[in-house]
Structures are given as structure tokens and as C-alpha cells.
Amino acid sequence: MRSRVWVRLGVVLGTASVLVTACSAGKDDGASADDHKVTIASLMGAPDYSTIDYNAQQQQVEELVAECMANEGWEYIPVKYPDSGGAVEYTDEDEVARVSREGLGITYYLLYPASGEIPVDDPWANWVNPNDAYMESLSDAERTAYYVSLSGSGGVDGPVLYQTGVARLEGDAATVDKIVVDNGDGGCQREAYDAVSGDDITASAAYQEAIQGYYEELQQRFEADPRLVSANETWSACMKDAGYDYENQQAYYEGIYAELQKRTDEALGPDFYKDPMEGWTQQQIDDFYATATPEEVDALYDQSRNLTDDQRTQLEAILVDEIKVGLAEHTCSKELNDASQEINADVEQQYALEHEDELKVLAASLSSGD
């Protein structure tokens, strides 16, 4: 057993990242996607994400994590994650087939629960983290310190109290001379990611906080763009021709799901999701879990989920409505979705260029840590 564990403590670093949306369409005058290269992120110095080999980058991170953990006094094997075999193209025909089968997904899996168990070639099915055996060999206190070194104290439940610089573990008890609150710096994983990501300031929490207002203003401008307003009106007219009266997609999503879910809940009745242990004493619950097999636990919870003939008939009728409205929305949204991409790329470029100077000043400020 390890008699001393060194825990690195450092400054608090954010771990959030920014999602950058790539828009593919151009202006109405025949401009190509290459004409929409200027974005808020690009002016802030974000890298060209389309050129990054994320698999190679991840392996770099793992190698650096292993070095860092060794310096902390731990064993760590660089993790090689399963190869998913590359992205599988999901076509419009696939989406039509899915909606034709599942509708909006509200009742389908209640009617056909086994459909969610379709066997697939899952690269993660037999994958094992090579560090699991080592972690299992540690005591509870050692494992806690291991995770602090790996991920910072944010990886533990809440802030952790440690001595500045060092935490000593005697058996399973941590002894400290000076207590301070450490809110976590992300540990070796954060350090490794920062080293690999280089000067990408968009990977910091400070960037997201500073840039949020710009994206909120950009969204308002996008939604007010006359071209988008017109595209929404076309969408609404298309839906109305199909028998559905919604002003825009947001109203559709808020309205149709609530309506169909209400019908589903009414069809199932109040007892469908009732706790099967309702009325049991705590002792009865404890005794059951102490002796029941996993199959018996599943059977207990599944017994209230068996549909009656009447429930099935009602749900099948709702599924028909789900499919009908889902296919209508899919058809009507094609033109709107294409237009939205084009408009969004155009609006962001114009907005970014208008704010180019201040964005570059902000980027320089964040890079220098001011």
C-alpha cells in the first residue's frame, strides 16, 4: 500500500469547450462556401477545426497524461479508445424511414420496447480501460487522490480539503498540516489537453463568458433577418396545407410534443409509472434488494409496464398521428433548413466583420490573461 501520495494543486481552469458550427452555403449571388470563412471564432484566433486529426490529438493527450501521472507517483497506461470505424452517413432517406416507423418517438418504444435492443456492431462492447485493474487495487482514499491527480478535485464530489502542495495518506486516512479548499484545476487531463490544444483560447471558460453576449446578439440578428422570416412563413404555409397550424418551428416543437404526450399519458393512466414498491416498508425494500436477482428486479418494475389491449389500441392511434405530422414537418423543413444554413453563415460573417477590431482586442486580452 502506498504510504505517501503527492497531489498536485494548482489554479482553477475551466474545462468547457466551444462548439463551432460550420455553415456550408453561400450568398444569393452564387458565392461559394469559401466566401463564408469569417466567423466570430476565426477572428478570435480559433484553429481550423476541419483540419484537426482528433484521434491523433487524443493519443497525444493520453501520452502526456501518462507522463504527468508518473510524476505524481501513479501508474497510468495511455488509453487507446475504440475505433468507431469512421462516421456513417445518415441520409435523408434514412430519416424518412425512421419517422415513418417511429413517428416522433413518443409512443413507439412503449409499443415496441424490444426495438431498442437491435444488435449492432458496438466497438465499445468489449472495451476495457487498461487502468481499471490498477485503480481497483487502490484503497478508497488512494483512489480518491488518484482521481484528484487525474482530473482535479472537480472529479470528486464537491470541493476537497487538502494541504497546500501535498496530501499525505496514512492507510485510508488523509492527514494534513494546513487545510485549504481546492476547487480543482482539471488535473493531469486538463494539463495535457492545454498542452496539445496550444493557443486555442476558445477552449477556455473565460472565452465563453466573454463571447456569450456576441453570440446572443448574433442570434437576435439571425432571427430578425428578412430572409429567415420569409422562409419561416413558407414553412408555416406548407404545414398549414398539411393540416397543421404553427407559426414557426419553435411553436411546433413546443405544441405538438406537449399535445401528443398528454394524449399518451391519458391513454396509459396514472398507474402505468407507479412505483411498484409503493407501500413497502424500508425493511421490505432492503430485504428485496439484498436477495433479488437482477432478473427479479427487472420483473418487478416491468410488471406495471405491460400494456392492456385498450392502451395498445390508443397508443397505436397516437403513433399514426406522430408519423403523419413528423413526415409533414420533415418535408416542410427541407427548404427552411437549407435557407437557415445559408443565412446564418452570411449573417455571422457580416456581424463578425462589423465587430472585427473589438473581437481581436478581446482575443489579445484573453491570450495575455488580462
Q: Is 111 a domain residue?
A: yes
| Domain of residue 239, residue span | 34-82+90-368
Q: Is 275 a domain residue?
A: yes
Q: Is 136 a domain residue?
A: yes
Least confidently predicted of 60-69, 117-126, 127-136, 236-245: 117-126
Q: What is the pLDDT of residue 161?
A: 39
Cell numbers standing for residue 116: 431498442
The predicted-structure confidence for 198-230, as pLDDT tens digits, reads as follows 667 777 778 888 899 999 999 999 999 999 999
This prediction's pTM:
0.61
Give the mean model confidence (pLDDT) for residues 247-263.
95
Give the mean model confidence (pLDDT) for residues 25-52.
66
Phi-psi region of 243 (alpha: psi -120 to 50; beta: other; left: phi over 0): left
Q: Is 38 a domain residue?
A: yes
CA atoms of 57 and 213, how far apart (whole Å): 31
Please answer whether residues 264 and 111 qualify as being in contact, where contact means their C-beta atoms are separated by less than 8 angstroms. no
Residues 250, 251, 257, 262, CA torsion sign: positive
Q: Is 2 a domain residue?
A: no
Residue recorded with cell 477572428: 43
Cell numbers standing for residue 224: 430578425
Q: Is 7 a domain residue?
A: no
Cell numbers standing for residue 7: 497531489
Q: Is 26 a domain residue?
A: no
User: What are the beta bridge partners of residue 175?
Assistant: 168
> What is the 8-class DSSP label of residue 155?
G
Cell numbers standing for residue 18: 466551444
Please answer whether residues 115 and 108 qualify as being in contact, where contact means their C-beta atoms are separated by less than 8 angstroms. yes
The predicted-structure confidence for 76-131, as pLDDT tens digits, reads as follows 999 998 876 555 678 999 999 999 999 999 999 999 886 554 445 667 778 899 99
Which is more confidently placed, 24 or 251?
A: 251
What is the number of structural domains in the chain? 1
At 348 the three-state DSSP class reads helix
φ, ψ for residue 104, nearest 5 deg? -90, 5
Please answer whether residues 327 and 239 qualify as being in contact, where contact means their C-beta atoms are separated by less than 8 angstroms. no
Q: Is 130 a domain residue?
A: yes
Smallest Cα–Cα separation from 46: which of 73, 71, 21, 24?
21
The predicted-structure confidence for 118-129, as pLDDT tens digits, reads as follows 445 667 778 899
DSSP string, 221-290: HHHH-HHHHHHHHHHHHHHHHTT---SSHHHHHHHHHHHHHHHHHHHH-TTTT--TTTT--HHHHHHHHH
